[in-house]
Amino acid sequence: MAGQKKKSPPTRTPAPAEAGASRTSLWERLATPAPAARTVLTPERIAEVAVGIADAEGIEAVTMRRLATELGVAPMAAYRYVSGKDDLLELMVDRAYGELAAPEPGAGWRETLRGLAVRTRELVLRHPWLVQLPSGRAAVAPTPNRVALAEWGMRALAEAGLSADETMAAVDTVGSYVQGRTAAEVATRHLMAAQGAPGDADALRTSMAPEMTWLIRTGRYPAFHHYIGTARHKDDPQWQFETGLDCILDGLATRLHI
Amino acid sequence: MAGQKKKSPPTRTPAPAEAGASRTSLWERLATPAPAARTVLTPERIAEVAVGIADAEGIEAVTMRRLATELGVAPMAAYRYVSGKDDLLELMVDRAYGELAAPEPGAGWRETLRGLAVRTRELVLRHPWLVQLPSGRAAVAPTPNRVALAEWGMRALAEAGLSADETMAAVDTVGSYVQGRTAAEVATRHLMAAQGAPGDADALRTSMAPEMTWLIRTGRYPAFHHYIGTARHKDDPQWQFETGLDCILDGLATRLHI
DNA sequence: GGTCTGTTGCGTACAACGTATCAAGAGTAG
DNA sequence: CTACTCTTGATACGTTGTACGCAACAGACC
């Protein structure tokens, strides 16, 4: 089934320029076992190098030219494997999510879901660009390893005897929370890191982004001001993340009677 | 305090090119009452026109040139008011969030939080680009109207007698969920709208994006396959949103004893 | 009313990006 | 060795964001 004699069908469609209609899903294209010729470039290597750039210098440093340079290859070479930059980003996302290991089957649904959420947060902190993708498509694209994450969550809930709708709602709820919360955490960290305004000692004292400091001073947000002033865990994103997560898991247990 | 005689201080700093160090927060710059000269352009009009473009043709149609054309103005004119495209996006986001009205004070914390979440989802569905921003900074920037949303949430929880940490955790948890869930919903809708692959009747029957269909067929995701095949509310994002939201509200009530 | 001052908008220009297109190269099968 | 196919290179184009300097206008004061 691998190699035919004459007029062998093209083994891998060369990234069909995303022609509106028949967009074969990148993963489908990549699944053909790569018939081997002069193979200098592979999707894995492309993804690995791109992830390396993004980790080291941020997602905005990942340009097709920079990637090519890093790969020691001409600027257009990677286009044989990805149909455009969006595909590249999807490849990167999938590689990153590939770092997540499957949960051990023994644990209960709650421990499993909690572990997946916590480890996903750690993954995002390791690769902050996961929640800073410039594409919007890649940010939520169903890549194989990302779908695997949902699969694990659903398997964990199988024991609970929920309906299909309830199971999906539970998994998606936790997933949405993780995505939203980690995005906010990474953004906050970036805002704080970018501060350097002189004379804004308030910003450092209250550990707040300077833009936020000014907003607070307008007096439009008394409750916000009060709470942010007295909160003790304000600089403990892990506590915030896990507190919210535990609330959600409580809620699932309560409402779904599990 | 408004007009001095001679050597009057410059009334509005002309968008200081974002010089790393002293980044005055856009909102601070805009707060100076605009000393009136030949005012053809205002931040409000810029935001309004930009939002109009994004609503009609998607966020990728919003370029500085296109914006200038629509404003009937030279390409660089808007740079007097925004220091770059990121600022423009922030302006747009804030204008969109400005559509949200403050909740009525009478209701309890749960109804208020629920109403804010539901109405925020409707807002995002009205302006899908809110969760497709190419910047990542603008996507989570604390703009005045967005902070106002958090403020309302905190005021609603004031009656519940929670600690500052608990209050912030509750508001941020709901907010993160809304952000994550709506982003996924908008992305799914886009994926489905972009489908047109011939011969993929399965995609339509199961109302799944074609990329997802292929992934499922690999057999790597049996639980996912099973649940998505039997779920009845699979095409009812509102049900999914509200179910998850109610779970979270339940969880807050349970864990925080309110 | 004339002049002065500073803000507002315009025009040009450039570097960087994503990507289309075609030609050349490497490798294997016969 | 020859023919064929897949892979990479080179070149180039259109579009984007934006730096820079200059011209036009409004109002304040003499």
Considering the domain architecture, whether residues A218 and A148 belong to the same structural domain is answered as yes
Phi-psi region at B20: left, alpha or beta (left = phi > 0; alpha = psi -120 to 50):
left
Residue A196 identity (one-letter amino acid): G
Contacts of A33 in chain B (CB under 8 A): none
Q: Is A20 part of a structural domain of the chain?
A: no
Site from A140, A181, A232, A257 to mutate, B interface, most B CB atoms within 10 angstroms = A140
Considering the domain architecture, whether residues A60 and A127 belong to the same structural domain is answered as no
Question: Using CA atoms, how far apart are residues B94 and B145, in angstroms rounded to an integer?
Answer: 6
Give the total residue count for chain A. Answer: 258
How many domains does one find in chain B? 2
Q: Is B58 part of a structural domain of the chain?
A: yes
Considering the domain architecture, whether residues A205 and A242 belong to the same structural domain is answered as yes
Give B60's DSSP letter: G
Q: What is the mean pLDDT of residues A91-110?
A: 96
Q: Is B91 part of a structural domain of the chain?
A: yes
Check which CATH number belongs to the domain holding A164 and give it. 1.10.357.10
Q: What is the mean pLDDT of residues A139-149?
A: 95
Residue in A30, A35, A32, A22 with CA at minimum distance from that of residue A46: A30
Q: What is the mean pLDDT of residues A2-10?
A: 36
Q: Is B59 part of a structural domain of the chain?
A: yes
Q: Which residues of chain B fall short of a pLDDT of 70? A: 1-23, 32-38, 195-205
Quick one: pLDDT at residue A224?
97
Residue in A217, A133, A1 with CA at minimum distance from that of residue B134: A133
- The average confidence (pLDDT) of chain A is 88
Contacts of B229 in chain A (CB under 8 A): 164
Quick one: pLDDT at residue A4?
33
Considering the domain architecture, whether residues A113 and A77 belong to the same structural domain is answered as no
Judged against a pLDDT cut of 50, whether residue A179 lies above it is answered with yes
> What would the pLDDT profile of B203-255 be if each residue is shown by its tens digit?
666 777 778 889 999 999 999 999 999 999 999 999 999 999 999 999 999 99
* Contact status of B84 with chain A (Cβ, < 8 Å): no
Nearest to A179 among B148, B166, B180 (CB): B180
SS3 B34: coil
Check which CATH number belongs to the domain holding B81 and give it. 1.10.10.60
Considering the domain architecture, whether residues A126 and A194 belong to the same structural domain is answered as yes
CB-CB contact of A176 with B180 (8 Å):
yes
CB-CB contact of B71 with B46 (8 Å):
yes
Residue in A118, A239, A131 with CA at minimum distance from that of residue A180: A131
Q: Is B131 part of a structural domain of the chain?
A: no
CB-CB contact of A159 with A152 (8 Å):
no
Q: Which helix (H) or strand (E) holds A8?
A: none
Q: Is A89 part of a structural domain of the chain?
A: no
> What would the pLDDT profile of A10-28 be if each residue is shown by its tens digit?
455 666 554 444 467 888 8
Quick one: pLDDT at residue B204?
61
Considering the domain architecture, whether residues A120 and A158 belong to the same structural domain is answered as yes
B232-244 CB burial, b ≥16 within 10 A, e <16: ebbeebeebbbbb
Residue nearest to nucleotide C4 (CA to C1'): B6
Q: Angle, to 10 degrees, between the axis of helix B237-255 and the axis of helix B164-193? A: 170
Considering the domain architecture, whether residues A129 and A233 belong to the same structural domain is answered as yes
Question: Using CA atoms, how far apart are residues B256 and B162, in angstroms rounded to an integer?
Answer: 8
Q: Nucleic chain D: which protein residues 74-93 of B have CB below 7 A from it?
A: 75-76, 79, 84-86
| Residue-range definition of the domain harbouring residue A174 | 109-256
Quick one: pLDDT at residue B8?
38
Considering the domain architecture, whether residues A248 and A185 belong to the same structural domain is answered as yes
Task: Give me the sign of the Cα torsion angle A141, B171, B98, B38.
Answer: negative
Quick one: pLDDT at residue A5?
33
Quick one: pLDDT at residue B89?
97
Q: Angle, to 10 degrees, between the axis of helix B64-71 and the axis of helix B43-57? A: 110
Q: Is A244's CB within 8 Å of B172's CB?
A: yes
Considering the domain architecture, whether residues A67 and A169 belong to the same structural domain is answered as no
CA B39 – C1' C10 distance (Å)? 15
Considering the domain architecture, whether residues A77 and A205 belong to the same structural domain is answered as no
By CA distance, what is A26's nearest residue in B?
A: B211
Quick one: pLDDT at residue A196?
53
Q: What is the mean pLDDT of residues A236-253?
A: 98
Quick one: pLDDT at residue B3?
33
Question: Using CA atoms, how far apart are residues B180 and B139, in angstroms rounded to an integer?
Answer: 12
Q: Is B65 part of a structural domain of the chain?
A: yes
CB-CB contact of B244 with A172 (8 Å):
yes
Q: Is A69 part of a structural domain of the chain?
A: yes
Q: Which residue has the tokens 């799914």?
A: B188
Considering the domain architecture, whether residues A76 and A114 belong to the same structural domain is answered as no
B109-142 CB burial, b ≥16 within 10 A, e <16: bbebbbebbebbbebbbebbbbbbbbbbbbbbbb
- Name, in order, each residue with C-beta under 8 angstroms of B245's C-beta and a sequence gap of 6 or more: B114, B117, B118, B174, B177, B178
Considering the domain architecture, whether residues A134 and A216 belong to the same structural domain is answered as yes
Q: What is the mean pLDDT of residues A190-207?
A: 66
Question: Using CA atoms, how far apart are residues B150 and B167, in angstroms rounded to an integer?
Answer: 11
* Contact status of B175 with chain A (Cβ, < 8 Å): yes
Residue A173 identity (one-letter amino acid): T
> What would the pLDDT profile of A215-228 be if each residue is shown by its tens digit?
999 999 999 999 99
| Structure-block tokens of residue B40 | 């053809």
First vs last C-alpha separation in chain B:
49
| Structure-block tokens of residue A212 | 């936020």
